[in-house]
Structure 1
């Protein structure tokens, strides 16, 4: 049985700020169902809800070296849905009001990377593969080579590094190399951690890990180009034979409209029941109540990379149509304020909620006819996958994971599960929305689109199979255990 340890900065249901937590909360379960021994290690943040902390079992404490420091590290565990989660505790680093956004984030996550290696001999688990996620864990493979590979326990451990978003890399001043990481100047080169005169945690993961993955095939190709490559495209091209694009899935037990307790009426492939959810949401949000009025949803971080400048550009044109728009999310103040001001102008057609509310999100997925996601770039995207599951037809820009999961409906072949446009252009987007609205008016056609969407399979089954193959290939190549 292949033994995998996932190392990540967040995981549902314990701690979540974005899609990474959804992946780490659901992928291990899917891999476990494939017969792998999968476990997860996380920091023990102070913001983890108390009821989870009360379930944690204390194992022991160890001391973790970090350059000239020797830091306390507590080890605690929870078994959740058959998966063992380890929590590494250090109150100085993690007992704070937020999980990211501090001046010492570099030191905090350097400690986590070192601790994720140091704690292994103290538990009843010797992983064959360390699967690291995003910049917060980029130093694991670096530390493994620098400090642990000579020790028998660690010899031949394989490493995989997954890029969830290349935009966030963990870049810190040069002095980090010795003062925080405890590494010598041989690691400050263009072929190692050096990045524009600084230290780059993600680059460490990309250089030193055995294999690299990212969260969709198209994104794996895009990041090898200067436009999407965030100044690391040359390195990614160099490692292209070790780079694999595997699309994220979603947990179909968690996101299931036929048994979702948050929505007004459970349904599966029945448009009439879905329409009931729309009417109830219209009533709850104070929108005009009409089951025939198409409802468009945006559930997103309200930031420019999500294509919101396109939405702003055509917002008045869009709301002049026979349509309703529901927006849920938080982000840049300019978008929050603009949408709230627009709601005053269109009280019966626009409902804006500047918050994160999972229960309301489920109701919106269940009620909406269309789901708008016009991202400038999108490594994978979770929203469009949930929308497909709930029969809210995605309208997306053809980039990254959106391109790989949403195929534009073909009127002649009756294929496709959504609508898409290629160029990052507001009126191309508006034209595509109008095409989708026209299709909505043709009820026979719309039933076909709806069923194509809900019968799309983006559960973890296929992706977990690809990861399993990758793990076994790496284990075989390096003759593990």
Structure 2
């Protein structure tokens, strides 16, 4: 079976969240099982410079405002996975975030940039672009690839199966309705109901309407998005498509996340030999300028710094955490107000709070290994990956009971002596109380308790 995955980012070349991890790991895992798998990506500078053995397949243009578009076939340097890269400098030659400009706002031509991604996928499915390879299944990921099922559906001669995975329904790919003129999609009759969303064009809705099968990244999230509370106005459509909606839990790529072999760590360790985790903690404390106290609870945030992720709750709980003798390290970026709050906390408590605004892959691994507790108090969470990494690295995940967090973190230890590690409601007092209790009760280096 030939499968084409379509996405806007892939680890380690371009990453803003867990989507990139999945797009790197899932195709590689399917290929290892014998499927013929390729990935279609937009030609961001980091992707074009990061792939190897690139060769031209076909040159197109003008299309979607780009005078010249070149489709290249290349390999990822580590996994050897085959990837198609859309080389369209006018649309994609922009450094930094794949969706936002330097001012932090969406690029004004994002509708064209990501329509091209779906359009190329559909024409690969039609066998028009690569005469040597044509997919049986097109698997599109999140709104950026949402028009792939729509373009495929417009060609009744195609028998290509389509799958769409919702990684985060909150990002619906909304654009002014008159932008449909730029996309080559019909917007009348049935097509209007497929694309129109309260006076806007929605790439997400187009995918949910047209894809043969829909996948959410955890069973609980698949149920949640069919309700008004979590459905972002699309719950009615999802209930209608319920027979084609599944919830399949994300997993961990153990070739990347394994404390026993992780090259980013000061010392490797396993559940049976935990001495290395204590060394990792002391090394991390030294790196961050913290007091070298092995029994001080070291808490971590590895996340987008947004209210959706509950980061305002972490800021609210911070005074009580510090009063309990805790330390906090934060890595991520997001909303300016929350970033400013963490910067101010780091300035006020330089020996107890450290903040890295941005992303550093090696540092995130060192934090995951050196921390005692990972904070994930999300208001909603499609799946979440960091709590899975934490479990793999022997770091206690303190989470809210929503979405994939409810599917992956259980309220149990062998002797029930730890506080319950999930937050049912996202109130500041609840988060502060539970965080402080966790810090006060953490095992303090007891290998038996950690196991």
The two structures have a TM-score, normalised by structure 2, of: 0.91
Deviations 1:71-112 (A, max 9, x none): 643121123324211112222111223421310100111122
Distance 1:26 1:55, change over 3 A: same
Q: Output one character per residue of 1:453-480: Cα deviation in whole Å (capped at 9) or x when no partner.
A: xxxxxxxxxxxxxxxxxxxxxxxxxxxx
Task: Please point out which of 408, 424, 427 is paired with 1:425.
Answer: 427
Match of 1:113 in 2: 118
Q: Deviations over 1:25-84 (max 9, x none)?
A: 1111111122222111111123436353x6312222234766xx7964312112332421
Aligned to 1:292: 295
Change (3 A) 1:184 1:314: closer
Instruction: State the secondary structure of the residue aligned to 2:177.
Output: coil
Residues 417 and 104 from structure 1, CA distance in 2 versus in 1: closer, same or farther, beyond 3 angstroms? farther
Corresponding residue of 2:142: 134
**Per the alignment, in what secondary structure is the counterpart of residue 169 of structure 1?**
coil
Matched, 1:374 2:370: no
Residue 60 (1) aligns with residue 67 (2) = no
Question: Aligned runs of 1:330-409 on 2, under 5 Å?
Answer: 330-409=333-412
Report deviation, 1:443.
6.3
1:431-470 matches, cutoff 5 A: 431-441=433-443, 447-448=448-449, 450-451=450-451
Equivalent in 227, 230, 251 of residue 229 of structure 2 = 227
Q: What's the secondary structure of 2:75's corresponding residue?
A: strand
Structure 1 residues 145-156: aligned runs within 5 Å: 145-146=153-154, 148-150=155-157, 154=158, 156=159
Displacement, 1:252? 0.4
Task: Supply the distance in 2 between the matched residues of 1:339 and 1:182 (Cα, whole angstroms).
Answer: 44
Distance 1:184 1:289, change over 3 A: closer
**Matching residue within 209, 212, 218 for 1:210:** 212
Q: CA deviation at 1:335?
A: 1.8
Question: Which residue of the other structure, out of 58, 68, 74, is the alignment partner of 2:70?
Answer: 74
Which secondary structure state, in structure 2, belongs to the residue aligned with residue 334 of structure 1?
helix
User: Is the CA contact 1:47–1:95 (under 8 Å) kept in the aligned structure 2?
Assistant: no
TM-aligned CA distance change 1:235 to 1:182, over 3 Å: closer
Alignment partners' CA distance in 1, 2:185 and 2:412: 55
CA distance in 2, matches of 1:347, 1:14: 32
Partner of 2:10: 11
CA distance in 1 between counterparts of 2:141 and 2:195 reads: 17
**RMSD of Structure 2 on Structure 1 (CA):** 2.2
Q: Which residue of structure 1 aligns with residue 28 of structure 2? A: 29
Shift of 1:272: 2.3
| Contact 1:264/1:280, CA 8 A, preserved across alignment | yes
Q: Report the equivalent of 1:478.
A: none
For 2:443 and 2:15, the matched residues in 1 are separated by 39
Out of 70, 76, 87, the residue aligned to residue 89 of structure 1 is 87
Contact 2:320–2:436 under 8 Å retained in 1: no
In structure 2, do the counterparts of structure 1 residues 417 and 266 end up closer, same or farther at CA, with 3 Å as the change threshold?
farther
Structure 1: 5+ residue stretches without partners: 452-481
Q: Flag the 1:16–1:410 CA change in 2: closer, same or farther, 3 A.
A: closer
Residues 64, 115 of structure 1: 8 Å contact kept:
no
TM-score (structure 1 length as normaliser):
0.86
Q: Would the aligned equivalents of 2:222 and 2:247 in 1 still touch at CA under 8 Å?
A: yes
